[in-house]
Amino acid sequence: MLSVNRISKSFAQGQVAALQDVSLSLKQGEIRAICGENGAGKSTLVKILMGIQRPDTGTIHVDGRPAEFLSPRDAQDAGFAQVAQELSIVPSLSVLDNIWLGSNRVPVFHRRREFRDKAQAALSRIGAGHIELDALAGDLSIGQCQMIEIARLLVGDARLLILDEPTATLSDTEIANIFAAIRALKAEGRSVIYITHRLGEVFSICDSVTVLRNGRHIVTMPVGDCDREHLIELMLGRSFEDMYRHQPNETFHEAALSVANLSVPGLVHDLSMTLPRGRLVCIAGQVGSGAHHVLRALAGLSIATGEVSVGGTPMRLNSAAVSRAHNIHFISEDRAAEGIFARMRVLDNVVATRLPLLGWFGLISRSRLRNAAKSLLAQVGVDKTRLDSEIGQLSGGNQQKVLFGRAMGQAPGILLMNEPTRGVDVGARADIYQMMRSFCDQGFGLVMTSTDLEEIVGVADIVITLYRGKFVRRYEGAAITMKDILADITHPPDQASPPAMAISGVTAS
Amino acid sequence: MFNRRLLVPYLRPSAVLLAVILILAVIDGSHGRFLSSSIVFSVLQMFATVGPIALGVGMTMIIREFDLSVAGMVGMAGCIAVLTGGDNPWLGLAAAVGTGLCTGLLQGFIIARLKLPSIGVTLGGLLVFLGVSYALTGSRSIQYDDLEVAGLLGQHIFGFFSIPSLIILVIFAVVALIFGMTKLGRDLLAVGGDRRAALSAGIRVDTLLIGTFAFSGALAAMCGALLGYSLASAAPTGLSNVLVPATTAAILGGVSLSGGTGRPLGIALGTLTLSVLQSGLNALGLSSYAHEIFVGLVLLAIAILDGTAFNARLDMLRLALRRS
């Protein structure tokens, strides 16, 4: 139904080629995975298909007829719909209004029973029937908002659905529901383009896969002709060494951080833990388990109660400045809002937290700033020619590396990371894991949260599981297994048992 | 289907209005200065002046923009109406409203297509309108000779109402119906709640932006023209101090400066609250400072109650109390 012919697109007056001569075609009812590292051109391709950007050259044909998309509206009229990585949910509207937002099917007078019923049916179909139609979308979790976006696709008459990492923030049961919905859409004859960094999903849901690398089309093949290792090789363009290097640093013994009775109202209840220096601790929990808020509270960003001491000194909670003074670095799950200064240069971003060290009586020295930034970029592996680029133009992986650079070269402290590899491609992921290890070797205490089980088991020295804001268990070293963690985070603590549903193939493959 | 949650946006504005009426009635005691029919008329007269501006500015606030230019438009529209409506008041009204509509369209077009912040653009508009009114009138107050029109506009209808207050009540009712029943209201709330989300959901954001500024400009112009007629004169200054009351009314009515919340009926309630306060305090013989201090405190309280951080701190306090 769709064919894309020799599309090229470049940015910055032709200096950066995002797509070069990319062609692909899609049949009705086909689920196509598009894989590639960040910067491979996936998001540019999606933006062109959705009418957000226009290609420099090349054509798009829908059902054999040429189509030109000048605005998102044109693409929608052609039957294209998208769930973007950044959700398009309006927080001040109800769930119902969000589901029907922008739909052509809604008449001018839209407060009618049938639209409520259809919206309810769509939610039930993806196992989200418990979400109230009249609830404000702003009161829901990210995972629930994702379900609303998918419900929006279901009520629409879109023929081509583009899903850009739809499972990045979801729990396993939610993912299973969404997969069921995608299969139902396929059965109705709709086509799907599925973009994901979780390669296991390619094999469990997709019919065929297209690999992009550096803006070029590498290969398109049925998933049956391919396995995981081969796919990674195709994406990276080189063979793939083991991403996870698992050697806990045993040289440190003292506690980096001890926490007693930490509570975040409504989200975390009486959490106590002691974490050693030089280890990578992972707090595992589903979306909404409060894991993110444990870290946010320690960083002084969520209002909390409890006793916390850092390296033996008690620390007052509820102030980000106090947490920083105790040498706590925080890397947010929401990079765009709480990480980078998107409109500022890479240079300004990487030194943002250490300006007082780079000046003389409050006057900032430009040359020292520049030299410091250069050496930091070299340490985190970002090309130093990007020093003067706006950081918003870098790929997610490179942005994240710059944020790690802020903690680099400072006295060992605590590094808190919420979902440090969200929106980060395979290649940059390996670099980031390596960076985490080097922080461990310097004597930092590292705490991260993740909803990706494979990642947790791969990188963590210590795992703490949470269920609905309550501590469940602590695992260390060889005792860390995917099965136990999955059981802990999906079941109330007293009845923890292996989950009945065989969903390990989804995230664990 | 009737839905309880549809009432939620009106709860607070209604509560504030009732509280204000109650407080004034209590202060008044048995003197009968506050709850009288002449008060109702003066409340509605003020409602007719502030209402159109509050509705226009409030709608631009709902879509997370702000129309400063109404302050200049009221004065300029008054001058245009008085100057062109000498023979036929309808002609003057049409000229004024037409000017408001066109300049609103132009400002909206600049804001939407050039992606400029509305404060800057409409501040420019405000200054231009002020300057034009000085030029039109030669910096003097100009008289409107058709005193019959002024008399007609000041007449009591059904006891409490007048032509201007009836007009604005009808406008509020129509706008509230359109806003509540059609897609338009939802789309405006979406544009204010999350512009990017609205755009990627396929809403015609630019059209809505331009339309809202045109609406705001036209309402401000209508208000200015009616004011000019009923005072039988227009002056370049004097009429421009409507922006602060209008914004206050919108906020009292549940419109947030961060966009995406608020309803036309809420704005009407907010305007009514403000009018009741002003007329009531006047009737009670309290000076106008009292009015400003009172409104200021109410606004402050609303701002604090709105904040998420305040609620989070309340939760924490509750938790701590339960522990001890």
pLDDT in tens, chain B (324 residues): 345 556 677 888 898 899 888 988 888 877 777 777 788 888 999 999 999 999 999 999 999 999 999 999 999 999 999 999 888 999 999 999 999 999 999 999 999 999 899 999 999 999 999 999 999 988 888 888 888 888 888 888 888 889 999 999 999 999 999 998 888 999 999 999 988 888 878 888 999 999 999 999 999 999 999 999 998 888 886 555 788 899 999 999 989 888 888 999 999 999 999 999 888 888 888 877 888 888 888 888 887 877 666 777 777 777 777 766
Query: Who among A87, A94, A265 is closest to B316 (CB)?
Result: A265
Q: Which residue has the tokens 């709330």?
A: B189
Please report, for chain B, the start and end positions of each structural domain, with discontinuous segments joined by +.
36-240+255-264
The SS3 assignment for A308 reads strand
Alpha carbon distance B120, A18 (integer Å): 35
HSE, side-chain direction, 13 A CA sphere, residue B260 = 21
B26 φ/ψ angles, rounded to the nearest 5 degrees: -65, -45
pLDDT tens profile A280-314: 999 998 777 889 999 999 999 888 889 999 988 89
Alpha carbon distance A282, A264 (integer Å): 19
Q: How far is B313 from chain A (nearest CA, A)?
A: 7
User: Would you state the pLDDT for residue B317?
Assistant: 79
How many other CB atoms sit within 10 Å of the CB of residue B100? 31
CB-based contact B228:B78 (threshold 8 Å) = yes
Among chain B residues, CA nearest to A153? B201
Alpha carbon distance A428, A397 (integer Å): 5
User: Would you state the pLDDT for residue A16?
Assistant: 63
Q: Structure pTM?
A: 0.75
Q: Which residue has the tokens 């973007």?
A: A84
Query: Who among A73, A91, A108 is closest to B182 (CB)?
Result: A108
Q: Which residues pair with A211 in a beta bridge?
A: A35, A219
Q: Which residue has the tokens 């706590």?
A: A328
> Would you tell me the crossing angle of helices B70-84 and B205-231 to the nearest 10 degrees?
50
Instruction: Please tell me chain B's helix, strand, coil percentages from 3-state DSSP, rounded to the nearest 5.
Output: 75, 0, 20
The SS3 assignment for A66 reads strand
Query: Which of A242-251, A376-385, B132-141 bottoms out in mean pLDDT, i.e. has the lowest?
Result: A242-251
CA distances from B300 to B12, B64, B268, B278, B294 (A): 14, 20, 20, 18, 10
Q: Which residue has the tokens 């109230």?
A: A132
How many other CB atoms sit within 10 Å of the CB of residue A117? 11
User: Would you state the pLDDT for residue B2?
Assistant: 44
Contact A109 B182 (CB under 8 A): yes
Q: pLDDT higher for B90 or A501?
A: B90
The SS3 assignment for A22 reads strand
DSSP string for B101-123: HHHHHHHHHHHHHTT--HHHHHH
CB-based contact B54:B271 (threshold 8 Å) = yes
pLDDT band of residue A110 (cuts 50, 70, 90) is low
The SS3 assignment for A57 reads strand
Span A310-329, mean pLDDT?
Answer: 89
User: Would you state the pLDDT for residue B1?
Assistant: 39
Q: Which residue has the tokens 């500024």?
A: B213
Alpha carbon distance A307, A305 (integer Å): 7
Residue pairs spanning A and B at CB distance below 8 A: 95
Alpha carbon distance B198, A432 (integer Å): 34
CB-based contact A148:A135 (threshold 8 Å) = no
Contact A93 B204 (CB under 8 A): no
How many other CB atoms sit within 10 Å of the CB of residue B113? 11
Among chain B residues, CA nearest to A87? B197
Write the burial class of residue A366 (CB in 10 Å: 0-12 exposed, 13-18 middle, 19+ buried).
Answer: exposed
Contact B183 A72 (CB under 8 A): no
Give the pairing type, strands A462-467 and A470-476.
antiparallel
What are A's interface residues with B at a Cβ cutoff of 8 A?
50, 52, 72-73, 76, 82, 84, 86-94, 97, 101-104, 106-111, 113, 116, 134, 152, 263, 265-266, 303-305
| Chain B residues with CB-CB distance to A110 below 8 A | 181-183, 186
| Chain B residues with CB-CB distance to A90 below 8 A | 189-190, 193-194, 197-198, 260
| Chain B residues with CB-CB distance to A120 below 8 A | none
| Chain A residues with CB-CB distance to B196 below 8 A | 86, 88
What single-letter amino acid sits at A10? Answer: S
CB-based contact A261:A306 (threshold 8 Å) = yes
Closest CA to B28 of B231, B280, B268, B235: B280
Sheet containing A57-62: order of strands? A16-26, A2-11, A57-62, A65-67
Query: Who among A89, A303, A305 is closest to B197 (CB)?
Result: A89
Q: What angle do CA B211, B212, B215 make, to 5 degrees?
A: 85
Closest CA to A281 of A320, A302, A252, A243: A252
DSSP string for A221-252: EEGGG--HHHHHHHHHTS----S-------S-
In the 8-state DSSP scheme, what is residue B182? Answer: B
Alpha carbon distance A231, A209 (integer Å): 9
Domain annotation for chain A: domains and CATH numbers: 2-236 (3.40.50.300), 255-327+411-507 (3.40.50.300)
Mutation for B interface: A88, A152, A153, A319, most B CBs within 10 A: A88
User: Would you state the pLDDT for residue B55?
Assistant: 96
Give the pairing type, strands A280-284 and A268-276.
unpaired
Sign of the dihedral defined by the CA atoms of residues B215, B220, B223, B224, in that order: negative
User: Would you state the pLDDT for residue B240?
Assistant: 56
The region, left, alpha or beta by phi > 0 then psi within -120 to 50, assigned to residue A51 is left
Alpha carbon distance A449, A419 (integer Å): 6
Q: pLDDT higher for B63 or A165?
A: B63
Alpha carbon distance B170, B175 (integer Å): 9
In the 8-state DSSP scheme, what is residue A143? Answer: H
User: Would you state the pLDDT for residue B315?
Assistant: 74
Q: How far is B9 from chain A (nearest CA, A)?
A: 11
The SS3 assignment for A146 reads helix
Closest CA to B229 of B49, B39, B54, B43: B49
CA distances from A289 to A283, A292, B177 (A): 10, 8, 42
A253 φ/ψ angles, rounded to the nearest 5 degrees: -125, -25
DSSP string for B226-286: HHHHHHTEE-SSSS-TTHHHHHHHHHHTT--TTSS---HHHHHHHHHHHHHHHHHHHHTT-
How does the average pLDDT of chain A come out, rounded?
Answer: 83
Q: What is the dihedral of CA A371, A376, A382, A388, to 10 degrees?
A: -40
pLDDT tens profile A461-500: 999 999 888 899 999 888 888 778 877 887 666 644 444 3
The region, left, alpha or beta by phi > 0 then psi within -120 to 50, assigned to residue A262 is beta
Sign of the dihedral defined by the CA atoms of residues B172, B176, B178, B183, in that order: positive
User: Would you state the pLDDT for residue A169?
Assistant: 64
What single-letter amino acid sits at A107? Answer: P
CB-based contact A330:A295 (threshold 8 Å) = yes
Contact A92 B260 (CB under 8 A): yes
pLDDT band of residue A503 (cuts 50, 70, 90) is very low
Instruction: Provide the token pair at B138.
Output: 């030669």
Mutation for B interface: A90, A99, A116, A150, most B CBs within 10 A: A90
Contact B190 A101 (CB under 8 A): yes
> Would you tell me the crossing angle of helices B288-306 and B243-252 to the nearest 10 degrees?
40
Among chain B residues, CA nearest to A50? B200
| Chain B residues with CB-CB distance to A93 below 8 A | 186, 189-190, 193, 260
| Chain A residues with CB-CB distance to B189 below 8 A | 90, 92-93, 97
Q: Which residues contact A259 (CB under 8 A, 6 or more apart)?
A: A271, A272, A273, A274, A275, A298, A306, A307, A308
Contact A86 B196 (CB under 8 A): yes
User: Would you state the pLDDT for residue A206?
Assistant: 92
User: Would you state the pLDDT for residue A497?
Assistant: 44
Element (H, E) at A278: none
Q: Which residues contact B130 (CB under 8 A, 6 or more apart)?
A: B72, B75, B76, B236, B237, B240
Q: Which residue has the tokens 């707090």?
A: A283
Q: Which residues pair with A330 in a beta bridge?
A: A416
| Chain A residues with CB-CB distance to B182 below 8 A | 108-110
Model confidence at A508: pLDDT above 60: no
A191 φ/ψ angles, rounded to the nearest 5 degrees: -100, 150
pLDDT tens profile A247-288: 667 778 788 889 999 998 888 999 999 888 888 999 998 777
Query: Who among A88, A106, A303 is closest to B200 (CB)?
Result: A88
Q: How far is A76 from chain B (nearest CA, A)?
A: 7
The SS3 assignment for A447 reads strand
